[in-house]
Every structure is written in C-alpha cells, then in structure tokens.
Amino acid sequence: MNRRQLYLILVVSAISGLALLLITQSTAVWRPQVSLLGDTPQSRLRFGTSLDISLPYIVVGAPLDGDPGTAYVFIQQAGVWRRQARLIPSEKGLLAEGFGGSVSIDRDVIAVSAASALRTSTSSGREGVVYIFQRRGQQWIQQARLFPPLPSSQSYLKGSVALKGDTLAVGEQDAVHIFNRDRQTDQWIYAETLTASQPRTTSFNTVRVKFGPQLALSETTLAVGGDSVDGGNRLTIFTRNSTTKRWIRQAELFPKGADEQGFGHSLALENNTLVVGSSTRGLAPWFHGSASVFERHNDQWQRVAVLKPRGRHIDIGIFNWMYRYGFGAQVAIHNGYIAVIAQDSPDLVSLFGSNSHTEAFLFQQEATTKRWRQQTKLLSAQSQQQSFESIKITSDEVMVGDIGAQISESNDPTGAVHIFRFPAK
C-alpha cells in the first residue's frame, strides 16, 4: 500500500465516521419509564438473561441468582408490573445448574432450562434438564423435571426452550426435542426429535450446521436456527401435521449476502412473519449484522425486508466506525413492530474492536406501503453500562433484559428489565 492509498483510506474513514456520528445525534431515543428488579440486589446475578411474555405475566431468568439460579414472575395489575413469584427448583447445585438461562411462558405454564444440570447425582455428563411450572391460583408450582430422551452423552437439553399450548420444544447443538402435554394426566411426554437435513456442501468442503440452539414456535410452525462460523448457516422451518400431530420439514432458508454471517443467531415468529437475526460472527469489521424479515405466502417463505440500524453508537476515532457491531443479536416481533438488539460476542476478536456499547432499535411497519421503518433507538438511563441480553414486545411496551444495569448503590451490575412504553396515540 502506497502513501496515496493510505491517505485516501484515512480521509474516507474520517468522513464516514463524522457522517455516522451526525446521524447518531439526530436519531430519536427512548428511555425506560420503569425498570423491574429481582429480590436480591447483589452484583452479577445476570437478571434479564432471558425474558418471555404471556400477558398479564412476564418471566425473567437470572441464572446466577442463588443456588442454582432463579426465574422471576411479574404480573401486570392496573397497568403496573408487580413481582408475583420467585421460581426456584427443588434440586440444588449441579442437579439444576444454569437454571434460568432460557425461559418460555404460555398462559399458565412456564418452562425454565437448566442447561448445565446433571440428570442425577451419579451422571457422568451435564445433559441439561427443563423444569415445568404451572400456575395454581396465585402460586406457581413445580410440575415436572424433563430429561433428554436418550441416555447420557447421546442427547442433551442445552439450547433454548419454546412453549406454545401443549407443545414444548427444547433445542441442543444438533437436534430439537419435542414434548407434548397429555391433557388427561397433565403430564409432559417426550414425542419426537427433529434433526437437520444433510450438511450443506460448498465448492470447497462439507460444513457442519448448528441446528437447534435457537427456536421460535407457534401453534403450527417451528423455526429452528443456530449460527455457524464455517459457512453452514441455515434456518429450518417445520409445520405440524394436523392428522398425525408430528412435525414435518417444510422449508430451509439460507443467508443472502456477506452481512448475514451468523444467519439464525436469533429468531422471532408471529403468524406468517419470521424475523431472523444475523449477528455477524466473522472477523470482517465492516459487516455490522442485520435482521431479515420473511413472510409466508401459500407455504412459501419470501424475504421482504432486511433491517439495518440507523444512528448506531460510535466512539470518536478514525477507525471506530468499522468495528464489529453485532446487530441482530436478539430480535422480537409483535403487532407491526420489530425490535432488534445490537450486541457483539465478547469471545470474538476483531482487528478494529467490537461493540461494547449495546443498544436496541425499534422498527414499525407502515400501514399503507408495508415497509419497515426505524422508529427509535432504545437506551437505558445508564447507557454506558447497559448490556442488553433479551427483548420482547407487547401492544403497549417494549421490554429489554439488561444484565449490565447498575440499579443498586454498588458499582457492579445487578441486572434489570427495562420497560419502554409506546407514546399515547
């Protein structure tokens, strides 16, 4: 590289950084009206690691709160969120380790994963378990402790959990295990295991696909994803056969373009709309990630939009606009809105740095054109310390789990769930 080329790079970098900084300053920003907390305002509890909503309830995972972890239930009464219950498994220590890492709620049932748990005290490996809690009156009672369907070292329950009606899907590295509830006995029974199709083959080699860590579930549709750093990214769609009640592979979606590295890193599904986060996993600093929107028409999935952030945070510096941003780390969809978190993975290194300043963006679908437009950026009151980890949307609010929130007098993060309310119409 000669001096002229280096000079051009420096000029372009400076101009681009300045332009992006000006855009950032003009972007609308929402701050939370209220923040929900756990019972124990101690440091580094990872309160907000996982989050799910089934109105009038919220369930929040805090995998480092107590032994072996905690999940909190909040209820909305007269427009105010109040803590209703603190879910703690009957087992302690290694038998429930990781409790709260992933949560899912549907009406009166909650599923909580303990991905590092031993099946029994004599188990040789940490297969992971899933706990089922059911509401009885104002109490949430532990109803079941679900194990992997196969013996130790052959199957695991280590991915996310997704609950809908009488169906529970639990992901792992290479499979998704389905459990169904028997209405007569009220017991959860293992039904089947879904696996990926043949490995994706490129012109150079056959690559291994991550299948199962990320899930999105509705009554009749299951989306299964999991990003891969070796080019094996794909998203698999299953539909439930109305007669046999078994899940049939319907479609496979693949990334399009370099900015969709990590395709399937996060998923959100509502009716016939699917949002797929592509939180960039490669080392290329100029790929900032994206969120792709797919719609289903006549059993065919079509990409209708690719969302990118406007007004992202940039530290002042010549090359800072080039750092790996991690947009698409988590996604949510509800009623014409999509929310996307930008958070880089701390275990990946980039020549130009990474995004230590996490933030979230809210997009709205226009009623006439059906196009998705960014409406605002979401920041906590302490935006320099925030570490957004989970996100959900209701008709009135956006809820963001922030494990980096410093709510107590301690300088260490305690975690919180921030509530951003939509402006009155």
Distance, in Å, from the CA atom of 165 to the CA atom of 185, rounded to the nearest integer, reads 15
Distance, in Å, from the CA atom of 225 to the CA atom of 253, rounded to the nearest integer, reads 10
103 and 113 Cβ atoms separated by less than 8 Å = yes
User: And the tokens for 170?
Assistant: 């639990």
User: Among residues 319, 338, 321, which one has the least CA distance to residue 330?
Assistant: 338
Distance, in Å, from the CA atom of 273 to the CA atom of 293, rounded to the nearest integer, reads 7
Distance, in Å, from the CA atom of 151 to the CA atom of 156, rounded to the nearest integer, reads 9
Residue type, 415: G
User: And the tokens for 284?
Assistant: 């290329």
User: Among residues 149, 265, 182, which one has the least CA distance to residue 216?
Assistant: 265
Could you say which DSSP state residue 422 is in?
Answer: P
pLDDT by position in tens, the chain (length 425): 556 655 555 555 555 555 554 444 457 899 999 999 987 656 568 899 999 999 999 999 999 888 889 999 999 999 999 999 999 999 988 888 889 999 999 999 999 999 888 887 767 667 889 999 999 999 999 999 998 887 655 556 777 999 999 999 998 877 899 999 999 999 999 999 998 775 544 443 444 445 667 899 999 999 998 655 444 578 899 999 999 999 999 999 988 876 677 788 899 999 999 999 987 654 454 567 889 999 999 999 999 999 998 877 655 444 444 556 788 999 999 999 999 999 865 444 444 444 556 899 999 999 999 999 999 999 988 756 788 999 999 999 999 999 988 766 666 778 999 999 998 76
User: Among residues 186, 162, 301, 144, which one has the least CA distance to residue 235?
Assistant: 301
The radius of gyration of the chain's CA atoms, rounded to the nearest angstrom, is: 21
State the alpha helices, DSSP H only, in 110-237.
none
> Phi-psi bin for 281: left (phi > 0), alpha (psi -120 to 50), beta?
alpha
Q: Which residues have C-beta within 8 Å of that of residue 240, sequence separation ≥ 6?
A: 167, 219, 220, 221, 222, 246, 247, 248
329 and 266 Cβ atoms separated by less than 8 Å = yes
Distance, in Å, from the CA atom of 65 to the CA atom of 70, rounded to the nearest integer, reads 6
Q: How far is CA 379 from CA 7, 257, 339, in A?
A: 36, 29, 13
Could you say which DSSP state residue 381 is in?
Answer: T
Name the strand (E) or helix (H) holding 325.
Answer: none
* Cis peptide leading into residue 68 (ω within 30°): yes
Q: Which residues have C-beta within 8 Å of that of residue 273, sequence separation ≥ 6?
A: 293, 294, 295, 296, 333
Distance, in Å, from the CA atom of 65 to the CA atom of 124, rounded to the nearest integer, reads 26
In sign, the C-alpha dihedral spanning 60, 348, 230, 300 is positive
